[in-house]
Amino acid sequence: MLEVKNLIKTFGQVKAVDNLTFSVKPGKIFGMLGPNGAGKTTTIRTILNIIKPNAGEVLLNQKPVTQDLFNSIGYLPEERGLYKKSKVADVITYLAHLKGMNSSQIKTETDKWLKKLEIPHYKDRKVEELSKGNQQKIQFITAVIHNPELLIFDEPFSGFDPINQQLIKDVILDLLDNGKIIILSTHQMDTAEKLCNEILLINEGKEVLSGSLSDIKQKFGGNHIKFAYEGEIKFLNEMDEVLSFEIYSNEAEVHLKNDVKPEIFLRKIIDKVTIKQFSIIEPTLNKIFIDSIKNKN
Amino acid sequence: MKKAVTVAKWEFLEKVKSKAFIISLFVTPAIIIAFSVLPTILATKESDSTKAIGILDLTKEYFSDLKNEIEVYKLNNNLPAYAILNNYKPDLSTDSLIKSADAMVIDNKLDGYLLIQKENNDSLKVEFRSKSIGNFQDVARFEEAFNNLRIKRKLLSENIDPKIIEVIKQRTNVNQIKIEKPGEEGKGGFEMVFFSSIIFILLLMMMIIYSGQMLVRSMLEEKSNRLIEILISSCTPQDLLFGKVLGLSTLGLTQVVVWLLIGFSLIGAAIVPITSFDNIHLILLYFILGFIFYTTLFVGIGSVASTEQEAQQITSYLSLLLVLPSVFIISTLQNPDSSLVKILSYIPFTLPSVMILRVNVSPIPLWEILVTMLIMLLSILIVMKISSKIFRFGILYYGKMPSLNEIKVWLKE
């Protein structure tokens, strides 16, 4: 289990991480969400001991995270990059050596992972000769090859096509079954919604929401409906029944006041716009995200 | 520590395999030889053909005697070194005489000519006019010949015994002999010492600048593609810094060994004098210490750069610091015991180059060698400590260059 207690990190006057406390249990994916500049990357760097916190502690299985635990941690940073002029196998070997693996382990594991990610034929190619997606796969391998206890993925799916996204998703779920502690930091709410069991939403270094996804949805609660439509729906702005709404291409998600019955609302709008579909829903993570951040501001 | 070795191995292998390194391995000594050995060879090498030299004597007093003096000089094969031609013709004006003599030089009929004329105040003015200036040996000979002639005439006119004139004409040269131990003469004059010291200092500087740039650039790559985050979540910044310095020093050593081999093969070919390698053990030690010192400095300070331009700036400032002592090379050679040189050989920035020079110029007491080595080792430790502190923050620092105040804060943490 990873425990983060009262973590504080300041840069000059700015509090990048402001008293964060959370824990991550093995076997569940922990989603760390937040808008740009919320302090996600700083939190991750502090967990990894890349930067020292001003206060607080980080424990992995009751032991503070220091250089002794480096070999039990795998990290995929958001911004990707590898030694471009070097050979794929050489880069993997170097980074795996740094994680304390020996040469024979590295050989078998490299072959295994290249095969698993469907790129065994690139082993002896230079990194710069690979497509961006394939370079990302190599980087993914360097994060997981040493079979670490704790895995931190920062936007693991960005830059992948849907097929490869699925491939990476399956690999991550595999790792989960092996009892790894996994932190997933992302902006993609639909991915987070599908993969994460636990959520931590942060903004300006502070916790905004935390808990299991179902708890959060229940707590956020309220009266949510979604409808697909054709036409113009600007009138939602003027309706007293509406607390807030989000518009996706030809769908709208609306948060109604608690005493408004959905069928009454439907009756009111049906003359103004063509409704193609109408449903009562739990709020999506996306809506929760936007509302929580907006309310805070 | 084990991880530092892993880093060192990677840095070494990746760079040794690069084309740039392999090229520099052979191009650098070629450049140094081209710039230091060849001019020496060419400057001291006697020409092997007779030169046609004109004399335009507007005073009409010196031609025949000067001709005799100059014709004394012989080539190796006993042919005269100079064939003398009289450029003076009675009917022409001074201007047209000079013009026609100039024209002969331009048309390659003459290699050059001596112009002798009286100035307004009755003093003599002698010029050697040729297409290229810089033939020191020829000019020195003409000067000697002309002065001999004048002294001889003056003395004769004063009715001095011709025997005394002969004595005065004889010159005594002062030979420079370097003493290393009582009764043991070192070989090689000023040029030799100059040449063998300068070659090592040039090598040291070129290598440090070259590897420093390589290092800062590779660090910049790791920074801009955030590989650095993976690296320092795998090993400590100290391991990474130490590994980089170790890897690069090994690389530098490989280079020196290859260059030494080239150097030894040049001795075989009698291009480089064997005396250049007399103090090689000391020179190598100072060389390696200086290299590690500057490399560590480059890693620490270079880590704050986040763009190619900044990296360029930093490396050129540091290189300047490195090249600065070369200003003192001549003065060190001329006066190795001056207090300036003494001071410079205790400052870690100038110590390696100055000591490499001094080791060659004059024997240095053992205690001074030990003290300077100790200073160098201590400075390396201090620079390591400072650099690793700057490094720890620098590698995660993006955007504009940090101010000195910010760096001060880093050093305190």
Residue A202 burial by CB count (10 A; 0-12/13-18/19+): exposed, middle or buried? Answer: buried
Q: Which CA distances in Å does A293 have to A32, A229, B58?
A: 14, 27, 100
Q: Are B113 and B58 within 8 A, CB to CB?
A: no
Cα of A178 to nearest chain B Cα, Å: 22
DSSP secondary structure, B40-62, as one string: HHHHHSPPSS-EEEEEEETTSSS
CATH label of the domain that carries residue A246? 3.30.70.100
Most A CBs within 10 A among B11, B19, B222, B234, hence the mutation to make, goes to B234
Please tell me if residue B135 touches chain A, with a CB cutoff of 8 Å: no
Total residue count of chain A as it appears in this document: 297
Contact A50 B225 (CB under 8 A): no
Residue numbers of the domain that contains A159:
2-217
Sheet hosting strand A251-256, strand order edge to edge: A242-248, A251-256, A223-230, A274-281
Distance (Å) of CA A257 to CA A225, A277, B80, B262? 11, 21, 117, 87
Residue A131 belongs to a domain: yes
Burial class of residue B279 (count of CB atoms within 10 Å of its CB; 0-12, 13-18, 19+)? buried
Partner-chain contact B226 A79, CB within 8 Å: yes
Closest by Cα among B322, B311, B301 to B407:
B301
Claim to verify: residue A58 and residue A167 sit in the same structural domain? yes
Which amino acid type is present at position A264? I
Could you tell me if A46 and A59 are in contact, meaning their C-beta atoms sit under 8 angstroms apart? no
User: What is the distance between the alpha carbons of residues B153 and B148, in angstroms, rounded to a whole number?
Assistant: 9
B136 touches chain A (CB under 8 A): no
Residue B232: list chain A partners with CB under 8 A: 50
Nearest beta carbon to residue A79 from set B3, B225, B233: B225
Q: What angle do CA B38, B39, B42 make, to 5 degrees?
A: 85
Quick one: pLDDT at residue B41?
64
> Does A146 lie at the interface with B, CB-CB under 8 angstroms?
no
What DSSP character marks residue B80? B
Give the C-alpha distances (Å, rounded to integers) separating B237 from A96, A98, B123, B242, B284.
Answer: 17, 13, 75, 8, 29
Answer yes or no: is A294 within a domain.
no
Same domain, A153 and A125: yes
Residues A75 and A22 in one domain: yes
Nearest to A50 among B221, B229, B413 (CB): B229
Give the whole-angstrom CA distance, residue A242 versus residue A220. Answer: 16
Q: At residue B237, what is the residue type?
A: P
| Confidence grade of residue A10 (pLDDT, cut at 50, 70, 90) | confident
- Identify the weakest region by mean pLDDT among A4-8, A77-81, A119-123: A77-81
What are A60's two structure tokens?
């992995």
Closest to A129 measured CA to CA, from A118, A141, A138: A138
Is residue B18 within 8 angstroms of chain A, CB to CB?
A: yes
Residue of A nearest to B220 (CA): A83
Q: In this complex, which of A70, A80, A97 lies closest to B233 when CB atoms are compared?
A: A70
Long-range Cβ contacts of B359-368 (<8 Å, 24+ apart): B359/B279, B359/B282, B359/B283, B359/B286, B360/B193, B360/B196, B360/B197, B360/B278, B360/B279, B360/B283, B361/B178, B361/B193, B361/B197, B361/B332, B361/B333, B361/B336, B362/B178, B362/B336, B362/B337, B363/B179, B363/B180, B363/B181
A 10 A CB-CB count for A231 gives: 11
pLDDT given for residue B62 in this prediction: 85
Side chain identity, residue A285? L
pLDDT value of residue B69: 84
B317-337 burial code (b ≥16 CB/10 A, e <16): ebbeebeebbebbeebbeebe
The whole-number pLDDT of residue B6 equals: 92
State the smallest CA–CA distance between residue A1 and chain B in angstroms.
19
B18/A80 Cβ within 8 A: no
> How many domains does chain A divide into?
2
- Whether residue A127 lies within 8 A of chain B, CB to CB, comes out as no
Report d(CA B115, CA B97) in Å as an integer. 10
Please compute the mean of the pLDDT values over residues A280-294 and round it to a whole number. 82
Instruction: Identify which of A71, A75, A83 has the shortest CB distance to residue B229.
Output: A75
A–B interface: beta-carbon pairs under 8 A = 59
Same domain flag for A54 and A201: yes
Both A181 and A264 in one domain: the answer is no
Cα B308 to Cα B312: distance, rounded to the nearest angstrom: 6
Q: Do B225 and A49 touch (CB under 8 A)?
A: no
Q: State the ipTM, two decimals.
A: 0.81
pLDDT digits (tens, 9 = 90+) for A205-237: 888 888 888 888 877 777 888 899 988 888 888
Cβ pair B234:A48 closer than 8 A: no
Residues of chain A with Cβ-Cβ distance to B396 below 8 Å are: 45, 50-51
What residues 227-246 of chain B have any CB closer than 8 A to a CB of chain A?
227, 229-236
Q: What is the model's pLDDT at position A111?
A: 94
Decide if pLDDT at A149 tops 70: yes
Domain match, A141 and A6 both = yes
CA distance A206 to chain B (A): 23
Per-residue pLDDT tens digits of chain B, which is 413 residues long: 789 999 999 999 988 888 878 887 888 777 767 776 666 666 555 566 788 889 988 888 888 888 888 888 888 777 888 888 888 888 888 888 888 888 888 888 888 898 888 887 778 888 888 887 767 778 888 888 888 888 888 888 888 877 777 777 777 777 666 666 666 555 555 566 666 667 777 777 888 888 888 888 888 888 888 888 899 889 888 889 899 989 988 888 888 888 778 777 766 655 555 555 667 788 888 888 988 998 888 888 888 888 888 888 888 888 887 777 777 766 766 777 778 888 888 888 888 888 887 887 777 888 999 999 999 999 999 998 888 888 888 887 776 777 777 777 777 76
Q: B230 and A94: CB-CB below 8 Å?
A: no
Q: What digits encode the pLDDT tens for the residues A228-276?
A: 998 888 888 888 888 888 888 888 888 888 888 888 888 888 888 888 8
Q: Could you give the CA distance from residue B175 to residue B186 in angstroms, rounded to a whole number?
A: 12
Q: Is residue A100 part of a domain?
A: yes
- Asked if the structure places residue A58 within a domain, the reply is yes
For residue A43, the SS3 value is helix
Residues A235 and A119 occupy one common structural domain: no
Minimum-distance CB partner of B234 among A45, A78, A95: A95
- Other CB atoms within a 10 A radius of the CB of residue A192 amount to 22
A195 and A245 co-located in one domain: no
A197 and A228, same structural domain? no
- What's the pLDDT at A217? 82
Looking at A193, A217, A241, which one is the last position of a domain?
A217
The amino acid sitting at A99 is K
Q: Is A77 on the interface with B (CB under 8 A)?
A: yes
Which of A169, A201, A217 is the last residue in one of the domains?
A: A217
| CB proximity B331 to A under 8 Å | no
- CATH 3.40.190 domain residues, chain B: 51-169
Task: Quote the pLDDT of residue A106.
Answer: 94
pLDDT tier, A113 (very low <50, low <70, confident <90, very high otherwise): very high
Query: Does A142 lie at the interface with B, CB-CB under 8 angstroms?
Result: yes
Which CATH fold would you assign to the domain B51-169?
D-Maltodextrin-Binding Protein; domain 2 (3.40.190)
| Mean pLDDT for chain A overall | 88
Through-space distance between the first and last CA atoms of chain B, rounded to whole angstroms: 23
d(CA B224, CA B306): 7
Minimal Cβ distance to A50: which of B3, B224, B232: B232
CB distance B112 to B131 below 8 Å: yes
CA-based nearest residue in chain A for residue B397: A51
B114, with CB counted inside 10 A (0-12, 13-18, 19+), is: buried
